[in-house]
Structure 1
Amino acid sequence: MSYASRKDDHVRLAVAQHRDSAAGQRPSPFDEVAFVHHALRGGAEHAVSPATEVGGARWPVPLYINAMTGGSVRTGEVNRGLAIAARETGVAIASGSMSAYLADGAVAGTYRVLREENPDGYVIANVNANATPEMAARAVELLRADALQVHVNAVQEIVMPEGDRDFSAWPRNIARLARSLDVPVIVKEVGFGISADTIARLAGLGVRIVDVSGSGGTNFALIENARRRSADFGLLADWGQSTPACLVDGAEVAAAQGVTLLASGGVRTPLDVVRCLALGARAVGVSGHFLAILEQDGVAALIAEITDWITRIRQLMVLLGAETVSELTRTDVLLTGGVAEIARLRGIEPGVYARRSR
């Protein structure tokens, strides 16, 4: 199967999965994270700054459009819409995997449109963990990218009919990329989560930014299983850790190692964004929800949605009395259900989060 056909399949199946998930209203681990309401701690909206810093760059808001697609005519148009939305709202944007471009330069335009439509924005290129420094440099050059995402997706590859079966070189390759590139390297999962142990190992490899990308959003095990003739790999449908669980697990290690955490995976609302920020993420990425709006209602609707999210993030910060993103990490958070249980199993006392403001 060609790269173009695979990319089109991914978009089609991701949008269908998001619609099914929204219709089914499945419980989310984010609902196991709640804020303690302190009635007299509200602030003033004019004093709130949602700006954040990632890789030495200032982002006006702690929100970004995360990696999705590219490599075919259809996905090039998806990237065009996403790039226009990023330009009009000021959020950062990441490319989908650029493997198709690295294999066939003829599809360069389906990725380059991210920069053409968003000439002054923060754009992130994306390669897999097998990419050589030369390949990564080509990807960065094509987009004039401000950073490079390196996605790690062993679960997806195992389920993918034509996927890789050898991941042993990934640590060595990631270290080479971190050393050789002139832009920040962000290591990102694709929806199965990154543990504290992995964050520590990545820090040792020279990586300073990690997107935990937990489960609960677009599920590539299900997407790739749907592409298998016999759909015989459903056993991995619930693999991995949720985004809140990953943040709770990894925040202390990341801080000790000087690693900036980003969060994505299953983010449904501006409240989920603020929950992630309170659990230690510096910024939060959204893919499936934004893609579904773009596909269903068009770019104007997506711009309106992102603009509304930015407003709501500011207002939630006002409610919590947090004038900056970093101040959200001192708010009192109640961890319950599975997130609290995972924290305990990993040696973290959930009650500490409920008393942070003291």
Structure 2
Amino acid sequence: MSAQRKDDHVRLAIEQQHTHRGVNQFDEVSFVHHALAGIDRPQVSLGTSFAGVTWPVPVYINAMTGGSEKTGVINRDLATAAAETGVPIASGSMNAYFKDPSCAHTFQVLREHNPDGFVIANVNATASVENVWRALELLRANALQIHINTAQETAMPEGDRSFGSWAPQIEKIAAAVDVPVIVKEVGNGLSRQTVAQLKDLGVAAADVSGRGGTDFARIENGRRELGEYAFLNGWGQSAAACLLDAGGTGLPLLASGGVRHPLDVARALALGARAVGSSGGFLRTLLDGGVPALVAQLQTWLDQLAALQTMLGAATPADLTGCDVLIEGSLREFCADRGIDTRALAQRSTKTTTGSTR
């Protein structure tokens, strides 16, 4: 049943890529164009760091799948593309492995085909410390990703209905492991209050994983004959909204959810993300064109991101947080309701020490 559910998730996620197009609030973020801001391309670096982690690029392949023979092939190919491009990669939820150790190879291929890369093991918030260590050892993982997904679990026919233990267990796991712990949503976003709470729980970083990409509540409704929880489709906040909301918490932020192209990556970095992940779009490319197509897409994204940094005058991804950005539409309304000063974002390049602008 677990293997079938994993295959269903992939099938329904791909269907969303082809058919579902909701509002994407990254389109409500734009850069103020300063025509003489550009720098020379050799000055640009794509390196980023957070919580003691250093990556050569600020783009990663986010959690997708594993647990069945079909998804094992997908993980093998994802790992091959990650190895060829130097892009970090996260596994899908390894709960299937905890329930059935015979599917271990469907996750282990992430390390076998990417022996020197940065690999992140993914578990749920109910995983025991013992199982977390099993996951880390199986992948020889460089970091741990704990996913939280109350909306998905609520829509899932066989989903969890007991959420009160999640925060204490996250704290327990974070204290027990010796790799950085990243907590991520699965497409409904992390609010300012949640990110502040995660910081208190001792995690190293938070992936806001907002609304706009793969909608797992919609996927779980697709597994129901009557779709009884369709009212949860589109639940939550976008990645752009979450980055703006949680920027002052002091916890390093990663971003995913609705990331379609390198401009969205640059937008997320400008709003404070240390790195930006994608899942559904990369999966669609892989299934449509194989490993060569995904490698080409990743390389293109990195080249175009460097080009954007060159034009914007940002020598590093972190420097994008000094670029002026305009917030429009429903995202601006969200900021107003949450007490976020959008005017300051539009005037960040003003150098207060000299009174000059970029």
TM-score relative to the length of structure 2: 0.97
The aligned residue for residue 117 of structure 1 is 113
What CA deviation, in whole Å up to 9, does each residue of 1:191-245 have, x standing for no partner? Answer: 0000010011011111120000000000001000010121111101121000000
Task: After TM superposition, give the deviation of residue 345 of structure 1 in Å.
Answer: 0.4
Query: What are structure 2's unaligned runs of at least 5 residues?
Result: 351-358
The aligned residue for residue 298 of structure 1 is 290
Aligned partners of 1:3 and 1:31: how far apart in 2? 37
Are 1:223 and 2:219 counterparts? Answer: yes
Structure 1: 4+ residue segments shifted above 3 A:
none
The aligned residue for residue 100 of structure 2 is 104
Q: AA paired with 1:19?
A: H
Q: AA paired with 1:268?
A: R
Are 1:340 and 2:332 counterparts? Answer: yes
How large is the RMSD of aligned CA atoms in angstroms? 0.8
The aligned residue for residue 51 of structure 1 is 47
Task: After TM superposition, give the deviation of residue 31 of structure 1 in Å.
Answer: 0.6
Q: AA paired with 2:64?
A: M
Task: After TM superposition, give the deviation of residue 19 of structure 1 in Å.
Answer: 1.0
Matches within 5 A, 1:155-234: 155-234=151-230
Are 1:29 and 2:28 counterparts? Answer: no
Q: AA paired with 1:335?
A: I
The aligned residue for residue 68 of structure 1 is 64
The aligned residue for residue 345 of structure 2 is 353
Matches within 5 A, 1:300-319: 300-319=292-311
Task: After TM superposition, give the deviation of residue 58 of structure 1 in Å.
Answer: 1.5
Aligned partners of 2:50 and 2:66: how far apart in 1? 24
Secondary structure of 2:334's aligned partner = helix
Q: AA paired with 1:251?
A: G
Matches within 5 A, 1:220-299: 220-253=216-249, 255=250, 259-299=251-291
Task: After TM superposition, give the deviation of residue 352 of structure 1 in Å.
Answer: 1.1
Task: After TM superposition, give the deviation of residue 57 of structure 1 in Å.
Answer: 2.3
Aligned partners of 2:28 and 2:347: how far apart in 1? 17
Aligned partners of 1:269 and 1:238: how far apart in 2? 21
The aligned residue for residue 124 of structure 2 is 128
Aligned partners of 2:180 and 2:330: how far apart in 1? 34
Are 1:144 and 2:140 counterparts? Answer: yes
Aligned residues: 350
The aligned residue for residue 2 of structure 2 is 3
The aligned residue for residue 355 of structure 2 is none
Task: After TM superposition, give the deviation of residue 324 of structure 1 in Å.
Answer: 1.0
Q: AA paired with 1:6?
A: R
CA contact (8 A) 2:136 2:144 kept: yes
Secondary structure of 1:96's aligned partner = strand
Task: After TM superposition, give the deviation of residue 289 of structure 1 in Å.
Answer: 0.3
Query: What are structure 1's unaligned runs of at least 5 residues?
Result: none
Task: After TM superposition, give the deviation of residue 326 of structure 1 in Å.
Answer: 1.4
What CA deviation, in whole Å up to 9, does each residue of 1:111-163 have, x standing for no partner? Answer: 00000000000000000000111111100000000000000000000000000
CA contact (8 A) 2:43 2:315 kept: yes
Task: After TM superposition, give the deviation of residue 55 of structure 1 in Å.
Answer: 3.1
Q: AA paired with 1:294?
A: L
Task: After TM superposition, give the deviation of residue 54 of structure 1 in Å.
Answer: 3.1
Answer with 49-58 or 69-78: which moved more. 49-58
CA contact (8 A) 2:23 2:212 kept: no
Aligned partners of 2:130 and 2:205: how far apart in 1? 21
Aligned partners of 1:55 and 1:303: how far apart in 2? 28
The aligned residue for residue 353 of structure 2 is none
CA contact (8 A) 2:60 2:87 kept: yes
What CA deviation, in whole Å up to 9, does each residue of 1:59-84 have, x standing for no partner? Answer: 11100000000000000000011000
What CA deviation, in whole Å up to 9, does each residue of 1:9-58 have, x standing for no partner? Answer: 0000001111113xx5x442111000000000001110001100133122
What CA deviation, in whole Å up to 9, does each residue of 1:299-342 have, x standing for no partner? Answer: 10000000000000000000100001111101000000111111
